[in-house]
A and B are shown apart, each in its own frame.
Chain A
């Protein structure tokens, strides 16, 4: 693994030509969507909006046409999602299905699974969450204890997941669970299942975050009976399948655009005549943003070429999270604007919200320390 994996990749003209279309759509459909709501970025939930996007053909667009996708290349999808994120559009409902679950089902699923799950994903109607962390398994994911045991009807699922984003809204969870005894090789004996969240024996409880929002959940499985075809991919190969997803999960623009709304309100609040410190800091952040976008596009090109750039994706996520987390700090540095939970200017409200959200950026999807460990391993150090 080497930094030479990062080579400059331009967005092809065909994909670039979608940009104006998305902007016009957003103007027409989200014109009066408030700035404070846009600040939620990909945590904003609006099923009606997701269905509209699905009707446009912009959900699951990289999936094959026979399942309702557009067989679009990764760059076309990139243009769509970066425009949605830059506008702060409420994409949370379909986000995980579009980014991860759809591609996973397409890649590892059976024909029957593809036919069943992919068309409603593409219509923006079917929402997924990802069950990975457990109370005693966070960064050490291989230590999970939730298990599925074979029985006559299929599989019996027992255990508990936690920090599951959107479980309270999602129709399905793709859960990583143990299907075999813990082996000498600790990454073996795990499998992935598509769990219908309406099944008996499932309890979902939202966990309120520090700002009062309800995004993540704890999910309990008490003798949940799964059909035999709930298994996705190969029994015992769950870890490898999860690892294959990570390049999609860690390199996209959502890993550095979480505070874009704050950067915009900051620029507007500073005004057109910045002082030296203000122009320097806003310019420095903008340079970083341009560079991060080029790194992210480079990983997209690698994905388009059928490579597995998990290492490069870790670089994008770590640098991207640092960038996102720096923006509330710079906002404090540049203006005497007190953050306001209620009242105050739009900028003050966005600042209050994102100051509180920022710690989560480098936790969700893999912590900073885990990412750096992956990078070091790729460099041959571990």
Chain B
């Protein structure tokens, strides 16, 4: 399934998500044509069980979709819809067609089929028709809820560094479209983990595209009578970039592959840490090699670098996930360290008190 997913999504995004198109959507313009094409291809239902009309693909196969979304800087909630529908399916709820997103940061209470509270940092919140979240997170009976965006009492609009909507929505007693208990096999953090998983793949995809773009530029741009890529100073920087892009790719792929049935929390955390570091190094080298032209709005380098700067901090920064890994590791002690690493796919992270800005 993975090869078919990959070839189809890459063709679709290469045709429609051109740099001009992506730039035009920054600041909150909704890419109706692109979304319609993605939805028509059935990608938003890829993770839904076959019994509910989906393709029942596992995360190992879905990796290529999230990576392609990153590679083309697709200005749509493709990963968000995938994850939202996956969670609905896990909870036994009907999947959603239409624009679907989710909120990992939810402070929401559910009483008699209505919700009160707030969803923060919702990707494409202003454009979404429905949203998946977890209500009553701190209770013994958390629920998966599906909310209509229209039913929000108010919205607080916000954009990330790349001009992608990250909105907050406030609910004051709105009826839910659907709800079900969160399955016992899933943590209340499932959307935070899922978000980190998606962003790690998007970063890997964007870094790959940025590396290709930067090495091509180094071969074309001539100074002192030679392509700048012929200079060792540039070669060594691009080698470091390639190493980091490779590390990001395998870290993200491992997180998806090991999450096929349940989220492998340590592997996802490690992926977010590794991709965030690679994003920082890669974006820096790409700009350094490109020089002034890469700093202009006209040249499309920034479509990738600004997304790397945005995505590395979403759903938990490298710092946050590092701390959580570190607490788990220190809890096991030096003697238990290696056994914990080799059995990483079965480890559970400790929870951290999160300080919000």
* Contact (Cβ within 8 A) B333 A267: yes
* Contact (Cβ within 8 A) B270 A286: yes
* Contact (Cβ within 8 A) A381 B229: yes
* Contact (Cβ within 8 A) A287 B334: no
**B334 surroundings in chain A (CB, below 8 A):** 263-269
- The complex places the Cα of A286 from the Cα of B339 at a distance, in Å, of 13
* Contact (Cβ within 8 A) A3 B246: yes
* Contact (Cβ within 8 A) A283 B273: yes
**B273 surroundings in chain A (CB, below 8 A):** 283-284, 287-288
Q: Which of A3, A82, A269, A281 contacts B322 (CB 8 A)?
A: A281
Given A3-B242, A8-B250, A291-B270: A283 in contact with B325 (beta carbons within 8 A):
yes
Say whether B3 faces chain A, with CB atoms less than 8 Å apart: no
**B230 surroundings in chain A (CB, below 8 A):** 381-382
Give A234 Cβ to nearest chain B Cβ, in Å.
31
- The complex places the Cα of A369 from the Cα of B232 at a distance, in Å, of 9
**A280 surroundings in chain B (CB, below 8 A):** 319, 322-323, 326
CB nearest to B332 among chain A residues: A267
* Contact (Cβ within 8 A) B337 A284: no
* Contact (Cβ within 8 A) A284 B318: yes
**B338 surroundings in chain A (CB, below 8 A):** 86-87, 260, 264
Q: Which of A46-54, A134-142, A311-319 binds B?
A: A311-319
CB nearest to A262 among chain B residues: B334
Given A265-B334, A268-B333: A315 in contact with B242 (beta carbons within 8 A):
yes
- The complex places the Cα of A283 from the Cα of B338 at a distance, in Å, of 14
Q: Tally the A-B contacts, defined by beta carbons under 8 Å.
A: 173
- The complex places the Cα of A264 from the Cα of B322 at a distance, in Å, of 17
- The complex places the Cα of A291 from the Cα of B266 at a distance, in Å, of 11
Say whether B341 faces chain A, with CB atoms less than 8 Å apart: yes
Q: Which of A286, A291, A382 contacts B326 (CB 8 A)?
A: A286
- The complex places the Cα of A19 from the Cα of B342 at a distance, in Å, of 10
Q: 0/1 per residue, B248-273, Cβ < 8 Å to A?
A: 01110110010000000011011101
* Contact (Cβ within 8 A) B235 A298: no
Question: Chain B at the A interface: mostly helix, strand, loop or mixed?
Answer: helix
- The complex places the Cα of A116 from the Cα of B239 at a distance, in Å, of 42
Q: Which of A153-161, A188-196, A271-279 binds B?
A: A271-279
- The complex places the Cα of A264 from the Cα of B338 at a distance, in Å, of 8
Interface size, A (range): 35 or more
CB nearest to B274 among chain A residues: A291
> From residue 290 to 331 of chain B, which have CB atoms closer than 8 A to chain A?
318-319, 321-331
Say whether A282 faces chain B, with CB atoms less than 8 Å apart: yes
Say whether B29 faces chain A, with CB atoms less than 8 Å apart: no
**B211 surroundings in chain A (CB, below 8 A):** 3
* Contact (Cβ within 8 A) A290 B329: no
* Contact (Cβ within 8 A) B245 A376: no
Say whether A212 faces chain B, with CB atoms less than 8 Å apart: no
- The complex places the Cα of A154 from the Cα of B249 at a distance, in Å, of 51
**B328 surroundings in chain A (CB, below 8 A):** 283
Say whether A6 faces chain B, with CB atoms less than 8 Å apart: yes
- The complex places the Cα of A373 from the Cα of B277 at a distance, in Å, of 22
* Contact (Cβ within 8 A) A286 B246: no
- The complex places the Cα of A292 from the Cα of B331 at a distance, in Å, of 23
Give A141 Cβ to nearest chain B Cβ, in Å.
18
Give A170 Cβ to nearest chain B Cβ, in Å.
29
CB nearest to B342 among chain A residues: A19
Most B CB contacts (10 A, CB to CB) among A82, A278, A282, A371 go to A282
Given A3-B208, A263-B337: A279 in contact with B240 (beta carbons within 8 A):
no
* Contact (Cβ within 8 A) B327 A283: yes
* Contact (Cβ within 8 A) A288 B274: yes
**B324 surroundings in chain A (CB, below 8 A):** 279, 283
> From residue 205 to 258 of chain B, which have CB atoms closer than 8 A to chain A?
208, 211, 215, 218-219, 229-230, 232, 234-236, 238-240, 242-247, 249-251, 253-254, 257
- The complex places the Cα of A3 from the Cα of B219 at a distance, in Å, of 18
Q: 0/1 per residue, A1-33, Cβ < 8 Å to B?
A: 001111110100000000100000000000000
**A382 surroundings in chain B (CB, below 8 A):** 229-230, 235
* Contact (Cβ within 8 A) A381 B219: yes
Say whether A379 faces chain B, with CB atoms less than 8 Å apart: yes
**A286 surroundings in chain B (CB, below 8 A):** 270, 325-326, 329, 341
**B215 surroundings in chain A (CB, below 8 A):** 379-381
Say whether B11 faces chain A, with CB atoms less than 8 Å apart: no
Give A304 Cβ to nearest chain B Cβ, in Å.
16
* Contact (Cβ within 8 A) A298 B250: yes
- The complex places the Cα of A48 from the Cα of B232 at a distance, in Å, of 47
* Contact (Cβ within 8 A) B327 A376: no
* Contact (Cβ within 8 A) A294 B251: yes
Given A279-B326, A291-B247, A379-B215: A10 in contact with B235 (beta carbons within 8 A):
no
**A292 surroundings in chain B (CB, below 8 A):** 247
Say whether A171 faces chain B, with CB atoms less than 8 Å apart: no
- The complex places the Cα of A77 from the Cα of B229 at a distance, in Å, of 39
Say whether B15 faces chain A, with CB atoms less than 8 Å apart: no
Say whether B335 faces chain A, with CB atoms less than 8 Å apart: yes
Say whether B344 faces chain A, with CB atoms less than 8 Å apart: yes
**B342 surroundings in chain A (CB, below 8 A):** 19, 82
* Contact (Cβ within 8 A) B326 A373: no
* Contact (Cβ within 8 A) A376 B270: no
- The complex places the Cα of A281 from the Cα of B277 at a distance, in Å, of 13
* Contact (Cβ within 8 A) A274 B330: yes
Say whether A237 faces chain B, with CB atoms less than 8 Å apart: no
* Contact (Cβ within 8 A) B243 A267: no
Q: Which of A271, A295, A318, A379 contacts B238 (CB 8 A)?
A: A379
**A5 surroundings in chain B (CB, below 8 A):** 246
Q: Which of B235, B267, B330, B331 contacts A381 (CB 8 A)?
A: B235
Give B335 Cβ to nearest chain A Cβ, in Å.
7
- The complex places the Cα of A271 from the Cα of B322 at a distance, in Å, of 17
> From residue 364 to 382 of chain A, which have CB atoms closer than 8 A to chain B?
369, 371-373, 375-376, 379-382
**A4 surroundings in chain B (CB, below 8 A):** 208, 249
Known pairs A279-B329, A284-B318, A376-B239 / 13 extra A-B pairs, C-beta < 8 Å: A3-B208, A4-B208, A6-B249, A8-B257, A87-B338, A268-B334, A272-B330, A274-B326, A279-B330, A287-B321, A290-B267, A373-B239, A381-B234
List 4 tightest A-B contacts by C-beta distance, closest first: A279-B326, A283-B326, A268-B334, A283-B325
Q: List 8 interface pairs A-B (beta carbons < 8 Å), by A numbering.
A: A3-B242, A6-B250, A279-B327, A280-B319, A288-B274, A318-B240, A375-B243, A382-B235
